[in-house]
């Protein structure tokens, strides 16, 4: 018995995957293709994709906004969980990585419901607000440059409807947020972000220790 979250060593993590992961073949293939890239660790963990897809289904989400597409894993995981008339807007600045994403979305037959906006995320977010998409998203996922998290979160609070959910990735940042000797820009940005959300009265909050730490913020 315990009244605190359990840590996962390698055998226990393996057990978790072996006894709960239901990764569709195409997602597994995308994960394998991405694994050869030097930046492969930017991709979310498969159990996190499954968890996010479950949240989308629980909410009956139809519109999903994503900041940080990379090779398309999280967008595909959510696309497979949305209804036929679901819509995804995903933002990234890399034409190269998102070309892989688009090929997998096509193969999965979900490309018609995914709108990729290439460019600087802040510009795309400002454009979404300017074109009347405020309060229209059910679910958002922030997973791009860490020093941008504060701005991305403020945009998402306007773009997600009241009662909608904002997910934020890497909020435990490999454990370094709790290391007082780590003063790198990304670590400091995530610490400041976590502190700001802790007492933010505009949201309901939970920081879930899945993947690299996933914050759930429900817009009140």
Give the total of residues touching ligand SAM (CB under 6 A).
Answer: 20
- Segment near ligand SAM (CB under 6 A); pick from 5-13, 88-96, 104-112, 155-163: 88-96
In angstroms, rounded to a whole number, what is the distance separating the alpha carbons of residues 78 and 62? 10
- 8 touches 175 (CB < 8 A): no
Burial of residue 95 (CB within 10 Å: 0-12, 13-18, 19+) is exposed
184 or 220: whose CB is closer to ligand SAM?
A: 184
Q: Does 102 bind ligand SAM (CB under 6 A)?
A: no
**Interface characters, 38-57, with ligand SAM (x: CB under 6 A):** ----xxx-------------
**Smallest distance, ligand SAM to C-beta of residue 124, A:** 7
Q: Does 117 bind ligand SAM (CB under 6 A)?
A: no
The correct pick among 46, 68, 164, 213 for binding ligand SAM (CB under 6 A) is 68
Q: Does 108 bind ligand SAM (CB under 6 A)?
A: no
Q: Does 143 bind ligand SAM (CB under 6 A)?
A: yes
The correct pick among 61, 91, 140, 160 for binding ligand SAM (CB under 6 A) is 91
- 99 touches 73 (CB < 8 A): no
- Segment near ligand SAM (CB under 6 A); pick from 11-19, 62-70, 174-182, 195-203: 62-70
Handedness of CA 121, 123, 125, 127 (dihedral sign): negative
- 91 touches 112 (CB < 8 A): no
- 90 touches 115 (CB < 8 A): yes
Q: Give whole-number Cα distances, 142 to 29, 205, 214, in Å.
A: 24, 15, 10
Site for ligand SAM in 173-202 (CB under 6 A): none
The correct pick among 26, 93, 108, 189 for binding ligand SAM (CB under 6 A) is 93
**Smallest distance, ligand SAM to C-beta of residue 159, A:** 15
**Smallest distance, ligand SAM to C-beta of residue 2, A:** 31
In angstroms, rounded to a whole number, what is the distance separating the alpha carbons of residues 9 and 22? 21
The alpha-helical segments, DSSP class H, found in the chain are 10-20, 25-34, 46-59, 73-79, 95-108, 121-130, 149-159, 185-198
For the chain, how far is it from start to end, CA to CA, in angstroms?
Answer: 34
Residues of this chain that bind ligand SAM (CB under 6 A): 42-44, 68-71, 73-74, 91-94, 97, 120-121, 143-145, 148
């Amino acid at each position: 018995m315990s009244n605190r979250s359990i840590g996962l060593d390698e055998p226990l993590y393996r057990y978790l995957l072996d006894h709960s992961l239901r990764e569709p073949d195409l997602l597994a293939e995308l994960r394998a293709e991405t694994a050869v890239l030097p930046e492969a660790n930017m991709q979310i963990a498969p159990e996190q994709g499954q968890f996010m897809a479950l949240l989308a289904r629980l909410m009956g989400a139809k519109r999903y906004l994503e900041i940080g597409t990379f090779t398309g894993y999280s967008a595909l995981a959510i696309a497979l969980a949305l209804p036929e008339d679901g819509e995804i807007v995903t933002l990234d600045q890399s034409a190269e990585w998102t070309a892989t994403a688009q090929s997998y979305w096509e193969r999965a037959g979900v490309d018609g419901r995914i709108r990729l906006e290439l460019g600087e995320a802040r510009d795309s977010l400002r454009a979404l607000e300017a074109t009347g998409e405020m309060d229209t998203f059910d679910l958002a996922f922030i997973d791009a440059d860490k020093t941008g998290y504060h701005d991305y979160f403020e945009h998402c609070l306007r773009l997600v409807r009241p009662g909608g959910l904002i997910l934020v990735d890497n909020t435990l940042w490999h454990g370094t947020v709790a290391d007082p000797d780590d003063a790198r820009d990304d670590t400091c940005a995530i610490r400041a972000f976590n502190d700001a959300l802790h007492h933010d009265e505009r949201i309901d909050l939970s920081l879930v220790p899945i993947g690299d730490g996933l914050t759930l913020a429900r817009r009140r």
